[in-house]
Every structure is written in structure tokens, then in C-alpha cells.
């Protein structure tokens, strides 16, 4: 079951896309870290968001769309089209993470925008954009993969037409001996969709940014304090989102800090040079602890599994990244938004209260 909300169906008219920019189509279950990802992309002068499709997951799909509209209103980019996606997985019922993201998906603390969506469905839009602009658009799924799987069922060559497909989900290779098996909500929420997506034909352009790396992309207490010290609507919203996320994460580490799961994947989409390690191989799926372990079917050091490596499409999984460069770029975007306060030559942001490119006191 899903909650029905009043919504406006609309058809947008936008100027032609700027050929000098990176074109991105975001598929999102807009919760707290998704909102940060959207803010990051909206802050980049060299990025053009061609459209945003929504999915259930962190929150029901209509709340996801309303949350997108809230972020776009803040950024004064309400011209970007929003397309409503699937309400539930291909098999079974949707699992909604309101215990993390709040009932409304944004921590239940913001006045949200009106729900307005295009008359074209998310699946139709994902397929159409790939065929209208082959090789030019980056597809960026941040939630359960149901929309993407249904688009692939419509067009099995879909990934051959996108420039890249950078997915927040999965867990990289198998863990090192003694390491923990990691699972993620995005692939666990629709196993069948994940199987379709990671099994689809591609041209080496499908990237897994899994919880093996995103869990280490920490936004700590200094980040929150620095954002809160900046008296702009953009920085205050970013700080409020982080504060709401910390309400959940404080019980993991005993500190008000959190992992920028979607944020890391989005910075990698935009600045892949921050990646310092990769592993490539087919993906397999193992039920684990009531969830789903979605992993590249190789050991942590890149060797075949003892039972053999399955056949299938190859996925590139991130295994390490430049944490300092990620944090500088990401926090700069959350702090300054489209005001474009300059980065220094090392790419460091310097919000109020920072010294030498780092938060005061760090």
C-alpha cells in the first residue's frame, strides 16, 4: 500500500541543454542523504540535471517527488522536470526507511514544496532520454533499482546508450578475511531489479559505489558546526538535513556524525578522479542477515571465488577514494551552493569558521 497525495501533473518546457556541461539524470528515493546529493549537483556550474525520476525507498515515491521539489525550490531550479516512478519492487512489498529519514523523508522538520510531477512516467523518461541523447547522459541511481530495471525490460540496450551508470548500492568485492559482510538497502529493497540491472549489457560504464566505501565517507561534528555558522538558506537547509541524519546515526558510533552514502557516489559521478582503487567483475547476490549482500564476485584482493566466478556483465566497483578531496568538494557545495565561493588551488573549501581549508578545531 502507498499513501495517496494530491499532486499536480504538468508538462514542462525547458531551453536546450548546454552542450558544454555534464548531463545527469538522477533516479532517487529522496531522503536525507539524497537531498545532499541533489544540492551538490545543483551547485556545480559544469553540471546540467536533465531530469529527476523518483522511486520508493527512504520514503514513499510521492514523498520522494515532493522532497525533490523542496530541494529544487531552495536552489531556484524548479524548471528541472520531476517524473514519478514505481511505488513498489518488482516482487514483494516496499520497505520504507522512515526510522532513518522520518515519515516525510526529510526528517519531519521542513516546510515542503507542493507535489508537482510531469505527465511522463519515470520509466518512459529514462528510456526516452537515453535514445534521444545516446552517449551523452550519465544515469545516477540513488535508490532501489526498480525504475531502472523496468526501463531495461523496455530497452535491453539501455546502458549502451548512457555515457555512464553510477549506482549507489552494493558492497564492492567480498570482504577481506575477518572483515564484515556488508549489505545495502537499495539492492535489498528489490533483489530482482538488482539482478536485472547488474546483469544488463554494458560497455564497461556501470559503476558500483557500494557501502564498502560510502560508510567511510564521514561528515563529522565540525562539518555540521561549519554549515550552521553560515547564514544562508542553502547552508542552513544543508545543516538541518545533516542534523536530522545524525539523529539516526548517533546510535551507531555514539557521536553525531554520519556517512554520506549518496554524497560520495555523486561526487564520484562528477569527479571520478577522486577514486584511488577499483575492482571489476560480475556481480552476485547472497541473502545475509535478513538483507542482501550484492558484491562483485571476487575476493578482496581480486582473486576468483573458490567456487568459481559466475558469468555475467562486468561492473566496476570502487574500493578506495581520496577522502580529503571528497570532503572538501562536497562540504563546499553544501555550504555555498550556487554562490560559487572559489575553491583554493588544492580544491579546498573554506566556509566561515574554517582555517587552512579545514574546520576550526580539527
Determine, yes or no, domain membership for 345: no
CATH number for 139: 3.90.245.10
347 CB burial (10 A radius; 0-12, 13-18, 19+): middle
DSSP helix/strand/coil, 123:
helix
Verify whether residue 140 is a known catalytic residue. Answer: no
pLDDT score recorded for residue 9? 56
DSSP string, 260-283: -HHHHHHHHHH-GGGEEEEEEE-E
Q: How far apart are CA 238 and CA 234, in angstroms?
A: 6
Q: Compute how many other C-beta atoms are within 10 angstroms of the C-beta atom of residue 13.
A: 6
Give strand ranges (E) for the chain.
8-10, 22-28, 47-54, 82-83, 116-118, 137-141, 164-168, 206-209, 218-219, 258-259, 275-281, 283-288, 291-296, 315-321, 354-355, 358-359
pLDDT score recorded for residue 309? 81
Pull the grid cell for residue 28.
532517487
In contact, 77 and 166? CB cutoff 8 Å: no
Catalytic residue among 36, 83, 101, 261: 261
Q: How far apart are CA 251 and CA 41, in angstroms?
A: 29
Q: How far is CA 327 from the centre of its chain?
A: 16
Determine, yes or no, domain membership for 182: yes
What residues have CB less than 8 Å from 173, skipping those under 6 apart?
212, 279, 281, 295, 296, 298, 299, 300, 302, 317, 319
pLDDT score recorded for residue 341? 57
Q: How far apart are CA 288 and CA 55, in angstroms?
A: 24
DSSP helix/strand/coil, 102:
coil
Determine, yes or no, domain membership for 97: yes
Predicted confidence (pLDDT) per residue in 12-24, tens digit:
556 788 889 999 9
Q: How far apart are CA 210 and CA 281, in angstroms?
A: 14
Determine, yes or no, domain membership for 230: no
pLDDT score recorded for residue 156? 98
Determine, yes or no, domain membership for 47: yes
Owning domain of residue 109: 20-217+260-321
Q: How far apart are CA 65 and CA 270, in angstroms?
A: 23
What residues have CB less than 8 Å from 128, skipping those under 6 apart?
120
pLDDT score recorded for residue 13? 57
Pull the grid cell for residue 292.
542482501
In contact, 86 and 55? CB cutoff 8 Å: yes
Determine, yes or no, domain membership for 342: no
Determine, yes or no, domain membership for 2: no
Predicted confidence (pLDDT) per residue in 212-253, tens digit:
999 999 999 999 999 999 999 999 999 999 999 999 999 999
Q: How far apart are CA 148 and CA 127, in angstroms?
A: 9
pLDDT score recorded for residue 294? 96
Low-confidence ranges of the chain (pLDDT < 70): 1-14, 340-362
DSSP string, 176-217: PTTPPP---HHHHTTHHHHHHHHHS--SS-EEEE-HHHHTT-
Determine, yes or no, domain membership for 74: yes
End-to-end CA gap in the chain: 47
Element (H, E) at 339: none
Residue 106 φ/ψ, nearest 5 degrees: -120, 30
pLDDT score recorded for residue 8? 61
Number of domains composing the chain: 1
Q: How far apart are CA 61 and CA 3, in angstroms?
A: 9
Amino acid at each position: 500500500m502507498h499513501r495517496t497525495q494530491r499532486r499536480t501533473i504538468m508538462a514542462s518546457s525547458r531551453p536546450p541543454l548546454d552542450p558544454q556541461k555534464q548531463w545527469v539524470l538522477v533516479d532517487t528515493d529522496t531522503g536525507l542523504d539524497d537531498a545532499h546529493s541533489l544540492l551538490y549537483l545543483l551547485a556545480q556550474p559544469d553540471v546540467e540535471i536533465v531530469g529527476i525520476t523518483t522511486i520508493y525507498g527512504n520514503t514513499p515515491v510521492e514523498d520522494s517527488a515532493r522532497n525533490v521539489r523542496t530541494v529544487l525550490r531552495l536552489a531556484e531550479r524548479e524548471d528541472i522536470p520531476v517524473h514519478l516512478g514505481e511505488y513498489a519492487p518488482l516482487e514483494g512489498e516496499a520497505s520504507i526507511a522512515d526510522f532513518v529519514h522520518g515519515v516525510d523523508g526529510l526528517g519531519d522538520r521542513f516546510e515542503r514544496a507542493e507535489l508537482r510531477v510531469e505527465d511522463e512516467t519515470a520509466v518512459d523518461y529514462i528510456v526516452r532520454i537515453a535514445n534521444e541523447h545516446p552517449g551523452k547522459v550519465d544515469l545516477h541511481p540513488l535508490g532501489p533499482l526498480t525504475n531502472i530495471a523496468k526501463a531495461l525490460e523496455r530497452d535491453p540496450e539501455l546502458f549502451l546508450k548512457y555515457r555512464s551508470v553510477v549506482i549507489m548500492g552494493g558492497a564492492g568485492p567480498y570482504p577481506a578475511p575477518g572483515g564484515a559482510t556488508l549489505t545495502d538497502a537499495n539492492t535489498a529493497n528489490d533483489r530482482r531489479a538488482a539482478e536485472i540491472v547488474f546483469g544488463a549489457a554494458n560497455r564497461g560504464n556501470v559503476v558500483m559505489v557500494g557501502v564498502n566505501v560510502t560508510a567511510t565517507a564521514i561528515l563529522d561534528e565540525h562539518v555540521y558546526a561549519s554549515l550552521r555558522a553560515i547564514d544562508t538558506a542553502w547552508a542552513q537547509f544543508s545543516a538541518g538535513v545533516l542534523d536530522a541524519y545524525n539523529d539516526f546515526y548517533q546510535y551507531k558510533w555514539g557521536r553525531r556524525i554520519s556517512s554520506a552514502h549518496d554524497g560520495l557516489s555523486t561526487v564520484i559521478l562528477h569527479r571520478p578522479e577522486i577514486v584511488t582503487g577499483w575492482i571489476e567483475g560480475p556481480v552476485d547476490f547472497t541473502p545475509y542477515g535478513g538483507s542482501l549482500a550484492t558484491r562483485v564476485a571476487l575476493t578482496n584482493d581480486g582473486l576468483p571465488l573458490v567456487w568459481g566466478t559466475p558469468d555475467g556483465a562486468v561492473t566496476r566497483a570502487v574500493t578506495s577514494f581520496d577522502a580529503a578531496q571528497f570532503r572538501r568538494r562536497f562540504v563546499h557545495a553544501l555550504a555555498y551552493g550556487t554562490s560559487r565561493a572559489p575553491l583554493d588551488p588544492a580544491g579546498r573549501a573554506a566556509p566561515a569558521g574554517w582555517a587552512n581549508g579545514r574546520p576550526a578545531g580539527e
